Amino acid sequence: MQKIAYYNSPVGQILLASDEQGLTGLWLRSDRFYADNLAKDHQLGKNKYLDDAIRWLDLYFEGKNPKFLPKLHLIGTDFQNQVWLALLEIPYGEVTTYKKIAEKVAGRADHLPIRAVGSAVGRNHIALIVPCHRVIGSNGNLTGYSGGIDKKIQLLQLEGIDISKFSLPANYK
């Protein structure tokens, strides 16, 4: 049975979900895949996984590196899980590129699944904790955040990243 909780953050309301194995979801209200793996029979409630995630978020939004990881239950294909595990290796306050993640998961340089990596990053069900906001384009573009570029910018700035060195999408105001 999935339990859910809501968290009010500086980037808007967050929906958290967990099952008996760990945290299964963390979505910003603006996420284009909001609650896409939420069970229909979920219940509002509490458990240790939600409590740990809320503690993590409290520290994060205080501008601190939480330095612990709540127990996660990543639900996806083998490839998606590889990509999400690679995201977990991106240090707090740093960014990487879709290309570097593709090199890591492909294990070879002659075939880089950059678009597939982008798709898997976008389907990340546990935003912030699995830090998809720390991925940028190889040319320094701030691109590809399902919660919205404005939220990506806020999160990167919260981590002390100087976004002035990155390019904003042409349609960003």
Active site residue 86: no
Dihedral of alpha carbons 36, 130, 59, 69, sign: positive
Q: How far apart are CA 60 and CA 158, in angstroms?
A: 8
Query: Encoding tokens for residue 89?
Result: 């290796």
The CA dihedral of 84, 90, 92, 96, to the nearest 10 degrees, is -110
Q: How far apart are CA 58 and CA 36, in angstroms?
A: 24
Phi, psi of 9 (to 5 degrees): -125, 170
As a 3-state breakdown, the chain gives helix, strand, coil percent values, each rounded to 5, of: 35, 15, 50
**Which candidate in 132, 135, 136, 142 is catalytic?**
132
Residues catalogued as catalytic: 132
